[in-house]
Amino acid sequence: MKLCRFQQGPGRPRVGLVLDEHTILDLSAEGIDRLTSLFEFEGLAAQVDALARQNLPRLARASVTLLAPVEQQEVWAVGVTYLRSKTARMEESDFSATAYDRVYDAPRPELFFKALPAKVVGPGDAVGIRTDAKWNVPEPELALVINSRGHIAGYTIGNDMSSRDIEGENLLYLPQAKIYDRSCAVGPFVTIGASEAEARTWTISIAIERGAKRVFQGETSLGQIKRRFEELVAYLFRSQTFPHGAVLLTGTGVVPPDGFTLQAGDRVHINISGVGVLENPVVVV
Ligand code: DO4
Ligand code: MG
């Protein structure tokens, strides 16, 4: 089952259940107008299943604008969770190679703040590349949607846009490489009712288009993520509370070749087999 946040015309954001490719069930008609409150439900999938059987308005998918499924949640990210990410980063910087090598095997994962909710870009909106960076890449990532009690309520797609030349110059520049306008896209759907074991069977793929040409594509399995999802969430919630829950990007396992950098006008498509496709054009910010 997939949930979404959407808007129809100038109206307020609403909450929907995706019935099929063309149809959304408007859960707001049942008084549910925030995803965050749904994510707090115990037995979320059963409750949404019961809602789905009610006679609620059905909307054409083409008549709504999908929004990022993020309301007041901070977005955080984990790094170096795939072997591919570790090796790419060790090659990017002699200076930081030991840090990446160590964190991959250390008990404590690398966690970093990524975006305030108001700065998250939704489906179809532009992601950004920095004017002062020369090597910019998207990072396609599974995103965990976590409630205030630290339970994983669902899964969505995240793009952890990164400036690899800034990150590679000095590890202390990581926040500048990772956090800037339009550096984080999330959406379009939140898949609920799937276990971690099921999510680990999904594939994540990315395609980057430049005009009519596909300039990069790559794919991996979410089963390649080294750490268990609950372990990542437990570290995020150590000595830190999230009254509205949080979204946690789980790291990238698909890295474009070193000669590749994004350009304004490119289109990034990220597909997770159990979730859907997050598509964003690229602009310079
Ligand atoms: O430490 C660098 C960032 C790692 C990252 O974002 C990733 O592995 O996805
Ligand atoms: Mg990342």
Q: What confidence score (pLDDT) does residue 95 get?
A: 81
Q: What is the mean pLDDT of residues 135-153?
A: 98
Band (92; pLDDT cuts 50, 70, 90): confident
Q: Is the pLDDT of residue 94 over 90?
A: no
Q: Would the CB of 160 count as within 6 Å of ligand 1? A: yes
Instruction: Give the C-alpha separation, 137 to 162, whole Å.
Output: 6
**pTM over 0.95, yes/no:** yes
Residue whose structure tokens are 């990007």:
249
Strand 276-284 versus strand 127-129 pairing type: parallel
Q: What is the mean pLDDT of residues 180-190?
A: 98
Q: Is the dihedral of CA 187, 127, 216, 76 positive or negative?
A: negative
Q: Which atom of ligand 1 sits closest to the CA of residue 160?
A: 6
Cβ contact 136:162 at 8 Å = yes
> Ligand 1: which residue has its CA nearest to atom 5?
79
> Ligand 1: which residue has its CA nearest to atom 7?
79
Q: Which atom of ligand 1 sits closest to the CA of residue 100?
A: 1
Q: How does DSSP classify residue 210?
A: E
Element (H, E) at 94: helix 94-105
Q: What confidence score (pLDDT) does residue 93 get?
A: 83
Cβ contact 142:229 at 8 Å = no
Band (109; pLDDT cuts 50, 70, 90): very high
Q: What confidence score (pLDDT) does residue 80 get?
A: 95
Q: Which atom of ligand 1 sits closest to the CA of residue 103?
A: 1
Q: Would the CB of 140 count as within 6 Å of ligand 1? A: no
**48 Cα–ligand 2 center, Å:** 31
Average pLDDT of the chain to the nearest whole number: 96
Q: What confidence score (pLDDT) does residue 44 get?
A: 96
Name 156's Cβ contacts closer than 8 Å, sequence gap at least 6: 69, 143, 145, 186, 187, 188, 189, 190, 191, 247, 275
pLDDT in tens, 214-271: 999 999 999 999 999 999 999 999 999 999 999 999 999 999 999 999 999 999 999 9
Proximal ligand: closest to the CA of 253: 1
